[in-house]
Amino acid sequence: MKPAAKKEIFNFFKSNENILRSYGVKRNRKMPLFASAIIFFAALLFTRCDWTFPADFIRIRVQNHTDEAIIISTGKIFIDVTIDKDIETLVVIVKNAPLYAEGKTSGKRYAVRTFYADNETWSIHK
């Protein structure tokens, strides 16, 4: 690596450090690596974060018998499917995750259900 490139990288990190300092963020050089790891795992345990575990996916068939389009959601950002009225749709979801069926225009919650097996059918009525 050329000296000019090293100097440019150093200046980039130095300028970012100055920006952080202007917001009141201080650089802590004394915190060892294992202390950072302990903080990470404590946050992982206390927040019940499930993104570290692999998920099982299943297919379900959703039948919409309501007067409006519905949104199928797990409450997380990963699954959010809109199903028009009087339509049957095949949806891939996470096994053992509760699903919510809410009206797209009214916001009414039609049903909540958890699925455990593949190829189940969920009929949502008024």
Element (H, E) at 122: strand 120-125
Higher pLDDT, 63 or 10: 63
pLDDT at 88: 87
Residue 75, Ramachandran bin (φ over 0: left; ψ between -120 and 50: alpha; else beta) = left
What is the predicted pLDDT for the residue at 82?
84
What does the pLDDT read at residue 4?
64
Please name which of 74, 63, 78, 80 lies closest in space to residue 97, comparing C-alpha atoms: 74
CB count in 10 Å sphere of residue 11: 10
Task: Please report which confidence band the pLDDT of residue 7 belongs to, taking 50, 70 and 90 as the band edges.
Answer: low
Say what the pLDDT of residue 89 is. 86
Question: Domain segments of the chain: what residues?
Answer: 3-46, 57-125
Instruction: Pick 107 or 10 by higher pLDDT.
Output: 107
Span 18-40, pLDDT tens digits:
665 666 656 666 666 667 777 77
Report the C-alpha gap between 49 and 38 in whole angstroms: 15
Q: What is the mean pLDDT of residues 38-63?
A: 76
Q: Identity (one letter) of the amino acid at 38?
A: I
* Long-range CB contact pairs, 4-13, < 8 A, 24+: none
pLDDT for 78 equals: 59
Provide the CATH number for the domain formed by 57-125 in this structure. Answer: 2.60.40.1120
List of residues 6+ apart from 101 with CB closer than 8 A: 62, 70, 71, 72, 109, 110, 111, 112, 113, 122, 124
